[in-house]
Amino acid sequence: TFSVNQSALLPPTPFQPRVTSLIPPPPPPLPSSPSVHPKKKLYQALAQGREAVVGDREEVKMILQNRQISSRKGLKWLLINKFIPSLIQDGPQCGLVALRMAGHLLDPHRAVSLDEMVSLAVARGYTVQGEMFSAIDMKSLAEELYPCQGHLLTEGLAGSNRTIIINHLVNGYPVLLPYDEDFNHEPCQRGGHRAHWAAVSGGTSLPFPGKLHPTDPPSQAGYPGDSVIETHLLAKQGKSLRYQMWEYQRVLESNAQLREFDPKRATDGTAYVVPKGGVQSGLCGNVLLLVPLSLPHPPLRT
């Protein structure tokens, strides 16, 4: 007898080669996006994460210390200023942002959000995106949003209006001012193509010796134009957290040449509200003085 190995009678198992996967490994995760949104403007990126200096005088004193005013070093300058908070604009909202900053001096306890301001301005037909090319509309909007009265000067910053504006600031009231904004945010002359709004809350003046008495109360001091050698304005606008100090004459000249709407904006496919007569009618030579209704308005000195 003999035994048969049954496994030897089975057909051989076919060869099965080892197959290596050809599917590539998943790619590494993408790097995290930058903290600044790519659509943000440069001024928004610079302001992100920063805070404005708080207080009436400290920041302004730093400006005066870091900047030589003319060649009149060593002379005593008269400083007037009421602090206003900073606010960075998002899009063409410079006028509304300036109004909201100025609102702090009209009613510091009234919290009006920028969204509320835009919504009301759109509802009234003053704007589409937040742009304000009419000082008259700005006056109406300010009087509806804040307990204030607006006084619109339409003949620029020269002559008797200079004294009116300085007296207004001395009494602690804000001024809304359209001008052409240069790349460093200072006044320039671009024919209105870079029209912008600023909130002015104070200024510096160099009086003739013996003409003005700093100990006088603001309401009694007056500031007749022939008593001042040189004047600068202290302003904030929606593209910087910091105060800026501008020569009065440069602001005057910039405000007086706002003649036409920027041709690039006119053809960019975006809707804007521009008054009849254009930028020249709506902004040129216009200065808006705002006074709280709770306070008496001083007589305008001319």
Catalytic: which of 94, 148, 188, 284?
Answer: 94
**DSSP conformation letters of the chain:** -----HHHHSPPPPP-PPPPP-PPPPPPPPPPPPSS-TTS-HHHHHHTT--PPPSSSHHHHHHHHHS--TT-TTSPPEEEE--------SSS-HHHHHHHHHHHHH-TT----HHHHHHHHHHTTS-SSS----HHHHHHHHHHHSSEEEEEE-S-SSTHHHHHHHHHHHTT--EEEEEEE-TTSSEE-STTTTEEEEEEEEEEEEEPTTT--TTS-HHHH---GGGEEEEEEEEE-TT-SS-EEEEHHHHHHHHTT--S--HHHHTSS------TTHHHHHTTT-EEEEEETTSPPPPPP-
Residue 148 bears catalytic tag: no
- Taking CA atoms, 225 is separated from 124, 143, 199, 245, in Å, by 39, 29, 22, 19
Name which of 282, 301, 300, 283 is nearest 291 in CA terms. Answer: 300
Which of the residues are catalytic? 94
